[in-house]
Amino acid sequence: MSDILYGLMNALNWINLIAALFSVSAGILVGALPGLSAAMGVALLIPVTFGMPADTALISLAGVYCGAVYGGSISAILLHTPGTSSAAATALDGYQLTLRGKAGKALGTATISSFIGGILSTIALYLLSPPLAKLALSFGPAEYFWLSIFGLTIIAGVSSKSILKGLISGVVGLAISTIGMDPITGVPRFTFGVRYLLDGVPFTAMLIGLFSMSQVLIMAESKMKDKAKAKDLEDKVMLSWGEIKRILPTCLRSTVIGTVTGILPGAGGTIAAYMGYNEAKRFSKHKEEFGQGSIEGVAGAEAANNAVTGGSLIPTLTLGIPGNSVTAILLGGLIIQGMRSGPELFTSHARVTYTFFAGFAVVNVFMLFVGLFAGKYFAKVASVKDSILIPIVFALSVIGSFSIYNRMFDVWVMFIFGIIGYFVKKLDLNPAAIVLALILGPIGESGLRRTLILSRGSYAPFFTSTVSWVLIIMSIVSLFSPILMEKLAEGRASKPKAETNK
Amino acid sequence: MKTMDQKLGWILLLMTGGFYYLTSQLPKDAAFYPLFITIILAALSILFLIKAYKDSNVEEKPLFKGLELKQLAFITAACGGYVALINVLGYFVATFLYFIVVLFGLKVERNKLIIISIGFCGFIFILFKLLLRVRLPEGLII
């Protein structure tokens, strides 16, 4: 309890407050700019946080994450161009409200529901993380091996358009993770005599390449066009008490959806937002307004995608399995600060961890105020042309990849992985699965080999504990669930047709 | 004609072959896990290739529709040249030149081009050098 209280007080220290305010604002800016994602924002901020104390650094990363997820809604509502993919569902009704002269209402709804989603998911973070971390204490090397397999199957299955392509992306990531010194024997593998590769491919530089530089190339491949400009708001951003009461049940429902979706590795904000939107429609008394400009539609999507932020941190911090690509990068930030996910975070690093949790709540409060009072101004920035964004993003990527180890080698790694990332995106492979595999690869390898060493080559210990069997069954289910879901959806779609034919 | 997925399948198989060759050069213990990955990657690549040939009649969405190849090549080359020049010119001079070249190439108005280039370098200097004291790449000149 004293650690929780200490965390709360420490998060309210003025340096952390300033870091939260600046990072939220930077995050909203990144999110509002179409083409720039939360993952890119967090990846670029990691080097900036390098010299900061661990708690301030983590709060800053959380600020960019939450701000960017929310910021995506601003351009979705005012410009009909979702700033991030998780805001695509917000655009459905948000832009319709703008067309009807109620852009302020839409922005206010998005801000308040994002706040509710974010703050309630923080409570879930407080409640669910410690018991899950305790569970991790019972894990031996065999369980860690199955945990890494489970993490890979779920991200590959859920987040890619093709399961095979998702799995292939994951295995390619595993292959990259073997570059460097063998963790058991210390033999260099695939380093080609480059000493910088002995510790593996530099993680942050590779992330910046995969997410930021690849986006520079995606922007560069199309004709430079003028972007739509946001008009001035005709109505108030603040909602009436009646409107808040109307969206509250939707926000609470979407928060549950978002938090649970966030906990599942790979599902992410986009899926949560669409689920939240569909459920809002299903339960609404005003179904006819959906698609025409419904504040419940905006609230359903926004509360869900912001609730993902807290939810996705739960498996990241407790089991070391990131909920999505942003938390995979955050995990990198954690490692840079000398911390590792798992039970240790709640024992020896408890004070920093609980400061981070409290900071997560503070970040959401700042998001509410910045959104309500300055949201419309961020939309003006969202119309910045790609021709200006291209050099800015790349020059920041150079600083980002250089400043961790102060070496140009990492900048070249970023450049090469930027080109790889471009083709990965174009070929519908899954960069998030690659990143997750890079984190899970070493966990899986040391789990596999340590188990075999301890059992003198016997595979039996992999199948003895209940936890192992639970993880094996969950891996099989997650691998085949997309196929089952697809069959179910096909079945549902063919039923009405058959009935019409009758 | 091969579809994009068929080409990708063959590239993956080739990569698997290369990875297997490199793995075979390692001592037995160090090769254990990479070999495990090679087997999975080979199996998945073959499955993918079979699926790609099975679906060869399905119409593909064009991957590079509306591709501005010259522009993409120009940006890639400018980014590569910029990284190469940083070690010679230092971060600020190289960044300023990179901005001028890219913005000029992307037809940004001349006044804006200069303001953006100077503004960005100034912003980076204040934020990273003065406030955060982050080390930036140095060159032979600066």
User: What digits encode the pLDDT tens for the residues A419-429?
Assistant: 999 999 888 88
Query: Does A234 reside within a domain?
Result: yes
Mutate to test the interface with B, among A388, A426, A452, A483 (most CBs of B within 10 A): A388
pLDDT of residue A253: 94
Contacts of B40 in chain A (CB under 8 A): 171, 174
Helix then strand then coil, in percent of chain A rounded to 5, is: 75, 0, 20
Residues whose CB falls within 8 Å of the CB of residue A56, separated by 6 or more in sequence, listed in order? A15, A16, A19, A49
What's the whole-number mean pLDDT along residues A163-169?
Answer: 86
CB contact under 8 A, B108 and A395: no
> For A434-452, what is each residue's pLDDT tens digit?
888 888 888 888 888 889 8
Residue of B91, B140, B142 lying closest to B120 (CA atoms): B91
Residue A413 has pLDDT above 60, yes or no: yes
Residues 6+ positions from B25 with CB-CB distance below 8 Å: none
With cut-offs at 50, 70 and 90, classify the pLDDT of residue A266: low
Higher pLDDT, A132 or B96: B96
Give the sign of the dihedral formed by CA A133, CA A119, CA A308, CA A230.
negative
Question: Is A27 or A268 the better-scoring residue by pLDDT?
Answer: A27
A472 touches chain B (CB under 8 A): no
Task: Determine, for residues B136 and A408 on separate chains, whether the beta-carbon distance falls below 8 Å.
Answer: no
To the nearest whole Å, the CA of B55 is away from the closest chain A CA by 13
What tokens appear for A449 in the block? Answer: 């080999």
What is the number of CB-based contacts under 8 A between chain A and chain B? 145
Q: A 172-191 residues with CB below 8 A of B?
A: 172, 174-175, 178, 182, 184-185, 187, 189-190
Which of A53-57, A176-180, A341-345 tops mean pLDDT?
A: A176-180
Across A104-125, average pLDDT: 93
| Residue A502: band (very low, low, confident or very high) from pLDDT cuts 50, 70, 90 | very low
Q: Nearest Cβ partner of B22 from A190, A224, A415?
A: A190
Q: Which of A221, A395, A415 sits opposite B80 (nearest CB)?
A: A415
Provide the β-strand partners of residue A181.
A188
Contact B137 A221 (CB under 8 A): no
Q: Which two tokens stand for residue A439?
A: 């984190």
The residue-averaged pLDDT of B79-102 equals 93
A186 and A161 in contact (C-beta within 8 Å)?
no
> What is the per-residue pLDDT for A488?
64
Q: Is the domain of B124 the same as that of B76?
A: yes
A95 falls in which pLDDT band (50, 70, 90)? Answer: confident
Q: Are A185 and A449 in contact (CB under 8 A)?
A: no
Among the listed residues A46, A365, A355, the one whose alpha carbon sits nearest the alpha carbon of residue A211: A46
User: Is beta strand A180-181 parallel, antiparallel or unpaired with respect to A188-189?
Assistant: antiparallel
Mean pLDDT, chain B, integer: 88
Q: Can you tell me the mean pLDDT for A349-372?
A: 92
Residue A188 or residue B58, greater confidence: A188
Structural contact between residues A393 and A220, judged by C-beta atoms closer than 8 angstroms: no
Tokens matching residue A415: 């450049």
Domain that holds residue A265: 2-142+203-431
Q: Among candidates A55, A46, A128, A73, which has minimal Cα distance to A327?
A: A46
Q: Which of A251, A246, A380, A367 is nearest to A305 (CA)?
A: A251
How deeply is B50 buried, as exposed, middle or buried, from its count of CB atoms within 10 A (0-12, 13-18, 19+)?
A: exposed
B90 half-sphere exposure, CB direction, 13 A CA radius: 9
Q: Which H or E element spans position B12? A: helix B4-24
- Please judge whether B79 and A394 are an interchain contact, meaning their C-beta atoms are less than 8 angstroms apart: yes
* Residue B137 included in any domain: no
Does residue A271 sit within a domain? yes
Distance CA A296, CA A210 (A): 36
CA triplet A344, A350, A353: central angle to 5 degrees? 100
Residue A27 lies in a domain: yes
Tell which A residues from 355 to 394 touch B, by Cβ distance under 8 Å: 385, 387-388, 390-392, 394
- Helices A2-11 and A350-381, axial angle in degrees (round to 10): 30
Which residue bears the tokens 């058991």?
A184
Kindly determine whether residue B34 and residue A178, on different chains, have CB atoms separated by under 8 Å: yes
Q: Which residues of A touch B86 (CB under 8 A)?
A: 398, 408, 411
Two structure tokens written together for A428: 């519908």
User: Distance (Å, rounded) from C-alpha A353 to C-alpha A347?
Assistant: 9
**What is the SS3 assignment for A385?**
coil
Quickly tell me which residue has 């807290």 as its tokens.
A310
How far B59 CA lies from chain A's nearest CA (Å)? Answer: 15
- Angle, CA A33 vertex, CA A336 and CA A51 arms, to 5°: 20
Q: What is the dihedral of CA B49, A210, B73, B82, to 10 degrees?
A: -150
Closest CA to A20 of A53, A52, A60, A54: A60
Of A294, A14, A15, A248, which is closest to residue A115 (Cα–Cα)?
A248
Interface test with A, best of B93, B102, B115, B133 (most A CBs within 10 A): B102
Query: Helix (H, G, I), strand (E, B), or coil: what is residue A39?
Result: helix
**CB within 8 Å: A403 and B87:** no
DSSP state of A183: T
Q: Name residues whose C-beta falls within 8 Å of residue A285's C-beta, 6 or more positions apart in sequence.
A: none
User: What's the rounded mean pLDDT across residues A305-326?
Assistant: 86
Summarised one tens digit per residue, pLDDT across range B19-76 is 999 999 999 888 989 999 999 999 999 999 998 888 877 776 777 777 888 999 999 9
The pLDDT score that the predictor gives to residue A1 is 63
ipTM over 0.90: yes
By residue range, what is the domain housing residue B33? 4-54
Q: Residue A210: which of A44, A333, A440 has the closest Cα? A: A44
Q: How many structural domains comprise chain B?
A: 2
| DSSP string of A93-153, one letter each residue | HHHHHHHTT-HHHHHHHHHHHHHHHHHHHHHHHHHHHHHHHHHHHT--HHHHHHHHHHHHH
Q: How many CB atoms lie within 10 A of CB A340?
A: 14
Helix-helix angle A408-426:B69-89, to 10 degrees: 170
Least confident of A137-151, A320-334, A402-416: A320-334
Partner residue facing A171 (CB), from B41, B51, B66: B41
The arithmetic mean of pLDDT across residues A288-313, rounded, is 90
Which amino acid is residue A134, in one-letter code? K
Taking residues B127-133, what's their average pLDDT?
Answer: 77
- Give the pLDDT confidence score for residue A498 in this predicted structure: 52
Substitution target in A22, A182, A405 with the highest count of B β-carbons within 10 Å is A182
Question: Cβ-count burial of A232 within 10 angstroms (0-12 exposed, 13-18 middle, 19+ buried)?
Answer: exposed
pLDDT at B99 over 60: yes
The pLDDT assigned to A500 comes to 47
Element (H, E) at A189: strand A188-189
Structural domains of chain A, count? 1
pLDDT at A404 over 50: yes
Residue B142 domain-assigned (yes or no): no
- Same domain for B48 and B75, yes or no, is no
From A300's Cα to the closest Cα of chain B, the distance in A is 32
Q: Which of B33, B83, B135 comes nearest A411 by C-beta? A: B83
Determine the residue type at B67: L
For testing contact with chain A, the best of B134, B136, B138 (most A CBs within 10 A): B134
Task: Determine contact: A426 vs chain B, CB below 8 A.
Answer: yes
Least confidently predicted of A190-199, A492-501, B38-47: A492-501
Q: Cβ distance A261 to A268 under 8 Å?
A: yes
A180 secondary structure, DSSP code? E
Write the pLDDT tens digit of every residue in A338-355: 888 778 888 888 888 999
- Check B29 against A185: CB less than 8 A apart: yes
Test mutation, B29, B33, B101, chain A, max A CBs within 10 A: B33
Query: Is pLDDT above 90 for A117?
Result: yes
pLDDT band at A303 (very low <50, low <70, confident <90, very high): very high
Distance CA B100, CA B110 (A): 9
**Is B76–A217 a contact, with Cβ atoms under 8 angstroms apart?**
yes
**Per-residue pLDDT averaged across A174-195, rounded?**
90
Residue B12 with chain A: CB contacts under 8 Å: 168
* Cα–Cα distances in angstroms (integers) from residue A235 to residues A31, A97, A502, B2, B58, in the given order: 23, 11, 50, 55, 49
Q: Which pairs from A176-180 meet CB under 8 Å and 24+ separation?
A: A176/A201, A176/A206, A176/A434, A176/A437, A176/A438, A176/A441, A177/A437, A177/A438, A177/A440, A177/A441, A177/A442, A177/A445, A178/A441, A178/A445, A178/B33, A178/B34, A178/B37
Stretch (H or E) spanning A258 = helix A241-263
Chain A partners within 8 Å of B83 (Cβ): 398, 408, 411-412, 415
A318 pLDDT band, cuts 50/70/90, is confident
Q: Is A452 domain-assigned?
A: no
Which of 110-169 (A) contact B at CB < 8 A? 164-165, 167-168
Question: Which residues fall within 8 angstroms of residue A368, CB to CB, at 6 or more apart?
Answer: A111, A112, A114, A115
Q: Is residue B46 assigned to a domain?
A: yes
